[in-house]
Amino acid sequence: MIPHGGAVSAEATVDVLASELSTYLDTNRINQVRRAYYYAEQAHEGQMRKSGDRYITHPLAVAHILAGLKLDHQSLMAAMLHDVIEDTGIPKDALADQFGEDVAELVDGVSKLTQIEFRTRAEAQAENFQKMTLAMARDIRVILVKLADRLHNMRTLGPMPYEKRQRIANETLDIYAPIANRLGMHSICTELEDLGFASLYPMRSKYISKAVAKLRGSHREIIDDIRGKLQEKLEERSLPGRILGREKHLNSIYNKMKFKQKSFHEIMDVYAFRIITDTEDDCYRILGAVHSLYKPLPGRFKDYIAMPKANGYQSLHTTLFGMHVNIEIQIRTEEMEHIANNGIAAHWMYKNEPSSVTSVNQRQVDRWVKGLMEMRERADDSLEFIEHVKVDLFPDEIYVFTPKGKIMELPSGATPVDFAYAIHTDIGNACVACRINRTLGSLSQPLQSGQTVEIITAPGARPNPAWLSFVVTGKARSSIRHVLKNQKRAESLDLGKTLLKKSLKGFGTSLSQIGERQIQAVVSHNQVSSFEDLVSDIGLGNRMAYLVARQLVSGNAEDQVADPASAPIMDKADNTPVTIRGTEGLLVRFANCCKPIPGDPVVGVMDSGKGMVIHSDTCSKLPEDGEGRSRLTHLKWAKDIAKEFSVELRVELERQRGVIAELANAVAMADGNIERINVEEQNARLGIVSLVVHVNGRRHLARLMRRIRNIRAVTHINRVRH
C-alpha cells in the first residue's frame, strides 16, 4: 500500500518518516535524509501550494511514497530536493557539494523532465518523454522519483484550474501510468489510473464507485464462502498460504465496459482472489489443490512463473467455475507479490540479497530502456518517437520461441518481422522469409503464443516499405523508417547527381570545372544548408536539374528566370539518355498508366518529393506542350535486366470449354507468370479476357503473345496502355 500521509505538521511528519525508514535503513542514512529535508524546507521557505499548504509538504509526501516502496536513501534525498533547482534557483553544483554527485544528478534528472517551455501540448508531452528515457537510461531512480511526484500531484489535483487538471490527468493516463505498469509498479499504476479517471470523468467515477460498494455488500456471503472453502482445502493438504480478496479498479471496470462492450454486472460477476505462499513449489501445489476444488476453465490458465512478463511480473493465473460463478485466482510467493506491486522499485529492497526474481526483473527493464534509447536515436523528432513508444507501453503479451528454445515476449498482433527486430536490428533489416513451427510462413501473419519462429536472412536485403502497414512494435517501425530514410537519401543523391551531370554536360561543362565559390553562392541562394541537400532535392523532384545547372555555369546564382538566350548555349549532349536498370529502389517508379517494360522507348518525369516516374514515350499522360516535353529526361534500358515487369493484355476469344486453362498453360510455357485474370462476357459466342502477366522485356512479351495467338480459340490479342 502506498502511504498517503496525513495533515500533520511537517516536523512531526519528518519524524514519522524517520521511524518508517528505521525498519530498513541505518541511522546514518536516515540522518542524511533528515538533512535533505531541512535544506529543502529552508530553500522553499515562504512558498505555498495551491491548496494553501506550505510547499515543503509536497516533497515530504513524495519521500513518504518512496519510503513505502523501501527505496534507498539517495532516492529519498532526491525526493526532498526534487524541486529545489527548478523553484528556488539553487544550482546543481551547490547540491553536489552538500549531498554528493549522485543525489545532485538525480535531482537534476527529475528537474529536467518538467523544465522546458513547449510550443504545443503534444510536443511538450513528447519532449518530456524523450528526456525521461535519457534520465531512465542514466539512472532508473529518476523515473521512480518522478512517478512518486506525479502520484502526489494527482492526489492533490483538486485546487488546480479545470484545464490544467484535464491536461495533467490526460498526460498521467497516456504516459505515467503505462510507464509504472511497464516497470512492474502495479500499486502506483492502478492508483494513477483511478485518479486520472476520477479527474477526467468525476460523475462516471462516482457512479461506478457507488455501484461497486453496493455490489460488494450484497455479495459478501459468496466471497466469504469461497474464501472459506479455499482455506479449508489448503489446510487439508498442509499448504502454507494467505488468501486475499482482489479489488477491481474503477478505471479498469470503465475500460472493460467501454472497449470490451461488457455490462457492469458481467465484469463484477467474477470473484478474484490472490493466494500468497512461501515457495515456487508451493505455488504449483496450491494450483493443483484449487483445481481439485473447482473446475478450471479451459484456455484461461497462464504460467507467468515459468514465462515472466516483460516487466518481471511472475504469478500463476487460473479461472475456475464454482458456486455458479467464475473465480479468478492468482498464486505467487511473498517476493513475487512485492515485485508485482512495486516492480523495479523492489530491486533496492533486495539489493543486498539479490534473487532470481529481481535479477530477471532488472534485466527485462534494462532491455526495455535500451530499446527506448535505440528508438530515440532513430526517430527524427520527439513526436515520431512517442508514437513508436506508446505502442510498446500497452502490450498484451504473446510468448514465442526461437529455434534454440529461448522465450521472446512480444505485444499481441506481432508478426515475424517484429520478432526479427526484437532479436536484433540487423536481423530485421536483412529478413527475407520465416519458418513458423518449421513450415514456411508469411512475414505479415500475426504470431500466436507457443509458436517457434525462425527468421531467414539474406546478405544485402533491405526492409520493404510495405512492412510498415503490418508491424506492431515501436522498435520494428522506427528501424524500418530509419533504414528507408537513409536509403531514400542515398538514392536521391545518386539520382540528383546523375540528372545534374547530364544537364551540365548539355551546357558543355562538368561539376569538376565549377568553382567552390560559385557552388556555395548557388547553395546559399537556394536556401539549403549544403550542396548535398541541393543535389538530393533534384533527385526528389523538388528542383529542376537544368535550372540548377544553369545557375552553376552562368556565374550568377540568381540566374533562374533570366532570358534563356543570355545563358550559355546547350549542346546536343543534353539528349544523352540516362541508363536505368529497373532496380533503382524507392525513387524510381514505373508508371501504372502505360506499364513500360525493358525495350520500350521510355522517358522520366520528376514527381515533386517522390523522385522519378518512368513512362513509355507514347504515354497519353505525358505533357504535350513544348516546355513540358523539354523537361522530360531521356532514358535507356541497361542490357542485363533480370527484374520482372507487369504488362496488361486484352485477349478476344471464342467461348469454349477449357479455353482459360489453355490460356494459362500458354503463359506458363512461355515462362510467364499470371498476376491477375478477369473474364468479361461479350456475347454468347465471344468473350474478352483481361490478363496481367509478368515478363522481363519486350522479346519475352513477344514470345508470350505469340504462344497465346497460336491458341485456335483466340481471335485477337493486344497490349493495353491506359
Per DSSP (E only), the strands in 395-499 are: 397-401, 407-411, 431-436, 439-441, 453-457
- Rounded to an integer, what distance in angstroms lies between the CA atom of residue 507 and that of residue 567? 9
Q: Which amino acid is at 651?
A: V
Active-site residue identified among 26, 45, 87, 380: 87
Residue 112, all three cell numbers: 529536467
The set of residues, in sequence order, having a beta carbon less than 8 Å from that of 71 and lying 6+ positions away, is 141, 144, 345, 348
- Rounded to an integer, what distance in angstroms lies between the CA atom of residue 280 and that of residue 361? 16
Q: Where are the alpha helices (DSSP H) in 460-581?
A: 474-506, 516-525, 531-540, 545-554
- Rounded to an integer, what distance in angstroms lies between the CA atom of residue 685 and that of residue 455? 52
Place of cell 461506478: 208
Among 637, 633, 600, 613, CA closest to 719: 600
Question: Would you tell me how many other CB atoms lie within 10 Å of the CB of residue 685?
Answer: 8
- Rounded to an integer, what distance in angstroms lies between the CA atom of residue 700 and that of residue 672? 8
The set of residues, in sequence order, having a beta carbon less than 8 Å from that of 366 and lying 6+ positions away, is none
Rounded (10°) CA dihedral 141, 391, 330, 225: 110
Active-site residue identified among 86, 280, 384, 533: 86
- Rounded to an integer, what distance in angstroms lies between the CA atom of residue 265 and that of residue 248? 12
Q: Which amino acid is at 234?
A: L
- Sign of the C-alpha dihedral computed for residues 185, 477, 475 and 388 taken in this order: negative
Place of cell 510498446: 392
Place of cell 496481367: 692
Residue 574, all three cell numbers: 543534353
Q: Which amino acid is at 317?
A: H
Please provide residue 505's backbone torsions phi and psi, each rounded to the nearest 5 degrees: -60, -35
- Rounded to an integer, what distance in angstroms lies between the CA atom of residue 186 and that of residue 314? 12
Q: Measured between alpha carbons, how far is residue 506 from residues 405, 537, 570, 571, 611 in Å?
A: 63, 20, 5, 5, 21
User: 316 exposed, middle or buried (CB, 10 Å; 0-12, 13-18, 19+)?
Assistant: buried
The b-or-e profile of 222-247 (16+ CB within 10 A means b, else e) is eeeebeeebeebbeeeebebebeeee
- Rounded to an integer, what distance in angstroms lies between the CA atom of residue 391 and that of residue 389? 5
Instruction: Please compute Rg for the chain using Cα positions.
Output: 34
- Rounded to an integer, what distance in angstroms lies between the CA atom of residue 597 and that of residue 612? 16
Report CA 196 to chain centroid distance, whole Å.
24
Which residues are bridge partners to 175 per DSSP?
Answer: none
Active site residue 387: no
- Sign of the C-alpha dihedral computed for residues 641, 642, 644 and 647 taken in this order: positive
Q: For the residues of 585-608, what is the DSSP string, one character each?
A: -TTEEE-TTT---TTS-EEEEEET
Active site residue 86: yes
- Rounded to an integer, what distance in angstroms lies between the CA atom of residue 434 and that of residue 441? 6
3-state secondary structure of 452: strand
**Which helix or strand (DSSP H or E) is residue 652 part of?**
strand 645-654
Angle 107-130-369 from CA coordinates, rounded to 5°: 85
Q: Which amino acid is at 433?
A: A
Among 60, 339, 317, 59, CA closest to 187: 339
Residue 81, all three cell numbers: 530536493
Catalytic residues, which ones? Answer: 86-87
